[in-house]
A and B are shown apart, each in its own frame.
Chain A
Amino acid sequence: MDITQDEYQDEYPEKEQKATGKAAPEKTVKARYGIQEAATRLQTRRAAKQRMIFFFFRGAAIINGLALFIIVFFMVKNGISAISWEFLTQVPRSSMTQGGILPCIIGTLYLSVGAILVALPIGVASAIYLNEYARPGKVIRIIRLGINNLAGVPSVVFGLFGLAFFVIYLKMGVSILAGALTLAAMSLPVIIGATEEALKSVPDTYREASLGLGATKWQTIYRVVVPAALPGILTGSILGISRAAGETAPIMFTAAVFYTPKLPDSIFDEIMALPYHIYVLATAGTDIEATRPLQYGTALVLIALVLGMNLIAIVWRSRLRKKLK
């Protein structure tokens, strides 16, 4: 119990103190069966083992944080030179080697907001049905299986589905609407999953209290259960959408085009979008090497947008949590 002691005490000061406080008087009592010695011997080994395991766990956690840090650092380092007021507020010029990326920013925002507007109500409604109303049975098992599998479908398949169904079959054309619907379809399983988790974490005692006062099931759900689950629902949903908003594959056939100088004025317009713009500049631009800074700059804006959405979700959640306390 040499170095370990300090190390351990750092993390659990009060616990360790309790333990030593207890151990002291025990020594004065004659230990039976030599258990005191055995425990002391074991203690050293146990402490070492614990230290090793925590070391690995801490390492795993640090790697996570590091990954984000490296990605952001890399983007900032390469892209910051491209960022300027002009870059954020102008349309692209000279075959997209000059000018800004305003249409892409607006396009991605429209797509995300559209996807939220569609996916949030449908996803939350499905989750409420599955978690609060449905009696467990075969039908529910099949629906769940469907949802789980939907989560595993590659994004490019969603893109092709969007093209075939929304763009061609429903005659929406390549448009914000078709793209938002495709993104919505893609984020539905995430939203349903997050909402179900949030609903499950609402204690049954709330439901019983509400029903016991003569509230109907629906009143119980919308006055007690959903408000209590709201922080979880919102964060889960926004995280799901922001994940989808950064994808290229679902929008490249359904909403985004190579280039359009015109800002959209209806949901049936085609648009430019950040992820697709990066893809275009990096693989099919007129001068791929010369536009490297623009590519990184665009990527930086995309990351900022996605992190920004997540940040909003987190701030929103903590606000709501405080209100519930």
Chain B
Amino acid sequence: MSDNNIKMASEHLDFYYGDFKALHDVSLQFRKKQVTALIGPSGCGKSTYLRCLNRMNDLIPISRVEGKILLEGEDIYNTSWDVVSLRRRVGMVFQKPNPFPKTIFENVAYGLRVNGIRDKSEIEKRVTESIQQAALWDEVKDRLQESALGLSGGQQQRLCIARALAVEPEVVLMDEPASALDPIATQKIEELIHELKQQYTIIIVTHSMQQAARVSDKTAFFYIGKLIEVGDTDTLFTRPRLKQTEDYITGRFG
């Protein structure tokens, strides 16, 4: 595949929380319109890695990054990069649904408003589209002016996805988006990921092998801060190259 199919990549990425080195020399590439799953035992650095990709770790004062992360070939940790615009282009869905204490409508409109869209009908149109895209429309169309905190956990998570999609990011990062959800809500979100793939580059952290197998094109296996193996999901799950990977996906540790 040619180079311009690569949306995002990390090159020799090291990450530190103070003196603790949480990521060791991680190099990974993410292709356009593909879903990449990050798997690995708890504490191996999946969330840390994901949060490097939109510089969310900047909020942690003691943290430090070495190496490069490229978005369309440009290093996002370069001092000239505008973090705010980066975060619009690289959206994020968090592990726990975290809607604002605002109405359902305002939650989705928020990203539009802060990014300078004023036109009322434009906002309305985009809010509607995003909620539809997140497969939530039928459940909330009559209660858009009610508080988002009144939704169920699964609905809240889809609202958070709608909120992330509203600002039209190019990459969507998802940190265990279904970990707090029941099987039905989980299935909805997985179907949604399939839909979104047509348009977005998606990177998803998951603890569920089945989920990784179902939704992703590529899978990357992390262990204690290192990228152990990455490959096509089918291959990685059926014929892993390394013993460590095999042990993990067959449930022998982690």
Binding site for B on A (CB under 8 A): 135-136, 203, 205-216, 219, 223-224, 227-228, 324-325
Contacts and interface: CB of A to CB of B under 8 A. Distances in A.
B193 interface: no
Nearest to A321: B101
Nearest to B173: A212
Given A212-B94, A213-B114, 15 more contacts: A136-B61, A205-B94, A205-B96, A205-B98, A208-B92, A209-B160, A211-B56, A211-B87, A212-B164, A213-B110, A213-B164, A214-B115, A215-B114, A219-B114, A227-B101
Q: Report the interface size class on chain B.
A: 20 to 34
B100 interface: yes
B interface, over-half SS: helix
B111 interface: yes
B147 A212 contact: no
Contact of B163 (A205, A213, A216): A213
Interface of B: 54, 56, 59, 61, 84-85, 87-89, 91-92, 94, 96, 98-101, 110-111, 113-115, 147, 149-150, 160, 163-164, 167
6 contacts: A209-B163, A213-B167, A214-B84, A215-B115, A228-B100, A228-B101
A225 to B, nearest CB: 10
Given A213-B87, A213-B111, A214-B167, A208 B147 contact: no
Contacts of A203: 98
A214 B94 contact: no
B149 A208 contact: no
B91 A213 contact: yes
User: Which residue among A208, A213, A224, A324 has the maximum number of chain B CB atoms within 10 Å of its CB?
Assistant: A213
Contact of B59 (A208, A213, A215, A325): A208
Contact of B88 (A206, A207, A213): A213
A319 to B, nearest CB: 14
B94 A210 contact: no
B213 to A, nearest CB: 28
A214 B100 contact: no
A209 B115 contact: no
Given A205-B94, A325-B101, A325-B149, A210 B59 contact: no
Given A214-B115, A325-B149, A224 B100 contact: yes
